[in-house]
């Protein structure tokens, strides 16, 4: 298993050196049943596949409850924070999501993490717009649970 790591970038110009490359792997996050229940309560999405352990054990192909896909996706900012350190930046703004897929499920009481790659950079006045691809994996599984591209805007410090 690869160990978590991050990439530190001193200035905006150095970001281009990492285009098309993996820039980091986050720590493992635990997806407990309590977290799944809390997310279900918060979003008012209380489908049996998420919260009913007895029914999930009987009918789910995973034989247990699973987390909401968007629950895993909600960790994207934390994954980026753990894997990319941008220095000399005056402002960073999450611009939005480009593509999101959920090819697999995240079973309750499992661990997951994100691997981040820099896939695109466009210059904007005073900064850059860049895209990071995050592949979320569950420990012990080969098929990812979520693949997402997030777009951010960053502006460098004057001088």
Q: Give the pLDDT score at 8.
A: 95
Q: Give the pLDDT score at 132.
A: 97
Mean pLDDT by 10 residues, the chain (159 residues): 91 91 98 95 92 94 93 96 91 89 96 98 92 97 96 84
* Residues 80 and 116: beta-carbon distance below 8 Å: yes
Q: Give the pLDDT score at 37.
A: 95
Q: Give the pLDDT score at 90.
A: 85
Q: Give the pLDDT score at 159.
A: 59
Q: Is residue 34 packed enough to be buried (19+ CB in 10 Å), middle (13-18) or exposed (0-12)?
A: exposed
Domains and CATH numbers, the chain: 7-156 (3.10.129.10)
Q: Give the pLDDT score at 1.
A: 59
Q: Which residue has the tokens 């895993």?
A: 72
Q: Where are the beta strands (DSSP E) in the chain?
A: 7-9, 22-25, 29-31, 84-86, 89-101, 110-124, 127-138, 146-156
């Amino acid at each position: 298993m690869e160990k978590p790591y991050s990439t530190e970038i001193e200035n905006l110009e150095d970001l281009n050196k990492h285009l098309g490359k993996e820039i980091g792997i986050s720590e493992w996050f635990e997806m407990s049943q309590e977290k799944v229940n809390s997310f279900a309560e918060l979003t008012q999405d209380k489908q049996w596949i998420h919260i009913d352990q007895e029914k999930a054990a009987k009918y789910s192909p995973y034989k247990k409850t699973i987390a909401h896909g968007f629950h895993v996706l909600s960790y994207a900012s934390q994954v980026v924070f753990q894997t990319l350190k941008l220095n000399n930046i005056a402002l960073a703004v999450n611009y939005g999501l480009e593509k999101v897929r959920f090819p697999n499920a995240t079973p309750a009481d499992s661990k997951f993490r994100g691997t981040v790659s820099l896939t695109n950079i466009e210059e904007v006045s005073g900064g850059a717009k860049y895209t990071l691809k995050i592949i979320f994996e569950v420990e012990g599984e080969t098929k990812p649970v979520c693949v997402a591209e997030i777009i951010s805007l960053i502006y460098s410090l004057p001088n």
